[in-house]
Amino acid sequence: MEWRFERGPIAEAFAKAAHRVTAKIPQHRYTGTPLEGRVALADFDPMENRLVVTLSTQSPHVSRTLLAQTLDIPEARIQVITRDVGGGFGIKLQVDAEVIPCLLSMRTGRPVLWSETRTEHMLSAIHARDYVCELEGAFDAHGALLGVRAKITGDCGCDGTNRAAGAGQLLVAAFYLAGNYRLPAIACEVVAVVTNKAPYGAYRGYGKDIANYAIERFMEIAARQMGLESNELRRRNLIQADQFPYEILTGPIYDSGDFPRLLTMAETAIDLPAFRARQAAARKDGRFLGVGFAMMLEPSGGAVPNCIFNGYETATVRMMPEGDFMLLSGMQDIGQGVETTLAQVVADEFGVAPARINVVLGETQGIPYGLGAWSSRGASFGVSAAVEAARTLAIKISAIGAHMLEVSAQDVELLEGAVVVKGAPFRRLTFREIGNAVSLFPGPLVTVPKGFEPNLEASHTWTNPIARWVPDQAGTLSIYTTHPSGCFAAIVEVDIETGKIEIERLYAAHDCGTVINPRIVEGQLIGGCVQGIGAVLNEELVYDAEGHLQNLGFWDYLIPQAPDVPRIEIDHLVSPSPNTSLGSKGMGEGGPVGVPPAVVHAVEDALAPFGVEVSTLPLSPERVLGLIDAARARQPGSLKSPM
């Protein structure tokens, strides 16, 4: 793939620039490693031409569609069942090896089970990152960014377009290269190459990780070259709170936020003056502490044109005859807590406890067609569809209750599981009484007023309200619904004798709009931060000169262990999104996006006496020692290397 985009006065920007900054920013290849590998149990009934497939997938309906297209079986004859999934991270959006047990079951008439081994996962599951971003920026005399020229080159492995749609994340990276900053002009080239590595695909970021790491590293490097404090350069270029909604040059519309306040929250939490004093004292004792900051932008709720990852979600809410509720959703729980969240928001609409909402997911024969869990869609698409369906049903229940109580619908309200006449709480009908009356006796023809369907259910299909799929003359698009944001700060200590990095503290000021369930939000952020730690310190997929992968298991692909995880602190800034029903945004990808640049900047700060500049990742002990040696060779007067 080769793609070019230019918008804004890019030539003029560089012609009048007071400062020009160039940087080459690579990131290595790594992947998500869900503890539960992919698995498929296929059971074909030749008499009925019916196939039942139990999968570990993030998207049951999409999997069913792909199986139908591949196996040439009518889709209505395929049932996909997905129970609780032991981690997804984008790795379980594909359907490929799952076809094999289906074919074998069709051939033999017997159930066939395929379960992925860890080695199979490392060899052929989705890999991510593995790119080089070359940037040249033009700044005025005050440090305002005037324009950027960029080239992003990504290694898509053996198939970057069809099986895993990996090449698309390079385009997302180009579209969001501005990050949290005002960017008046951009010229970008994207190149995707095919190699014999494993296929390129989504891993908790899908291009926004590329854009964020590149622009944050670039701002840090630019500040150093211009002699500015890095957060001061950030502050001079951040989009301001009164500028939302803010449309960037490439087309996306940032819905809400306050980026300068997030930066201030992080600086305040870290207490920079106190840290600098502690850092200076530690250096006298031969200890090297550092602090680093990174802004974060997390486009969420993707709505991709002309593909299975489209922009809608449907929910059905049904009140049972006994007055409890069932929510049928096309979302999928992959450990992110969407089942709890959906129960909570639906319960709020009816004024009942979440325990009265039975959430049904992962069963294609019973739930409405939905696209599943990816791109942090739960808080936007999943929640909004469920809330709107619940609101429609709540209106119907109120109207039925008012009709039975012989009052106007405006004169009743839903309280504690009942329809209650305002100002006369003794005049009430419980949901159980209404459910029995509608479903049993005297029945819907008597109890349901005119203008309403004679049932106790409602469905709603929610779509991205700001999607713009047809490119304009400049080639701009808008495919993401919300734009969560944050500022991450890390404090590290680097042992210059061993090269080991210890992350002492990790802080995130985070804005995901309305926080529905704080424990779930913070759990998502903490889990993502742990994956970000692995990415920057340990995890790396290494190929030899013959193209053979060297990491075939957890003995040499080093994911973080519990002792590696520091204290992680989170504060919330709430700027509700105008695009979703509750103002909620996504939050699933912020950790892996924001942590790596913050940790890199902290390491560079710790090793500033050596003049270390981080050029490659991960920051393994041997690589850190090599960076110190290289810096010493460039600057003979720097501190003595431990080697």
Last residue of a domain, one of 72, 95, 124: 124
> Does 386 lie in the same domain as 293?
no
Structure confidence at residue 638 (pLDDT) = 59
Number of folded domains that form the chain: 3
Residue 468 lies in a domain: no
Last residue of a domain, one of 408, 429, 463: 463
Residue 231 lies in a domain: yes
Structure confidence at residue 160 (pLDDT) = 56
DSSP letters spanning 301-370: EE--TTSSS-SEEEEEEEE-TTS-EEEEES---SSS-HHHHHHHHHHHHHTS-GGGEEEE-SBTTTSPP-
Residue 360 lies in a domain: yes
- Nearest Cα to Cα of residue 178 among 202, 214, 226: 214
Residue 470 lies in a domain: no
Residue 552 lies in a domain: yes
Q: CATH number for the domain including 450?
A: 3.30.365.10
> Does 342 lie in the same domain as 258?
no
CA atoms of 85 and 404, how far apart (whole Å): 44
Which residue range is the domain that position 219 belongs to? 2-31+126-302+476-634
Residue 639 lies in a domain: no
Contact 419, 402 (CB under 8 A): yes
CA atoms of 488 and 571, how far apart (whole Å): 11
- Nearest Cα to Cα of residue 595 among 287, 204, 229: 204
Residue 72 lies in a domain: yes
> Does 334 lie in the same domain as 452?
yes
Residue 102 lies in a domain: yes
For the CA atoms of 439, 441, 442, 445, the dihedral, rounded to the nearest 10 degrees, stands at 20
Low-confidence ranges of the chain (pLDDT < 50): 641-643
CB-based burial label for 173 (10 Å; 0-12, 13-18, 19+): buried
Last residue of a domain, one of 463, 490, 522: 463
- Nearest Cα to Cα of residue 206 among 63, 306, 89, 371: 89
Structure confidence at residue 642 (pLDDT) = 45
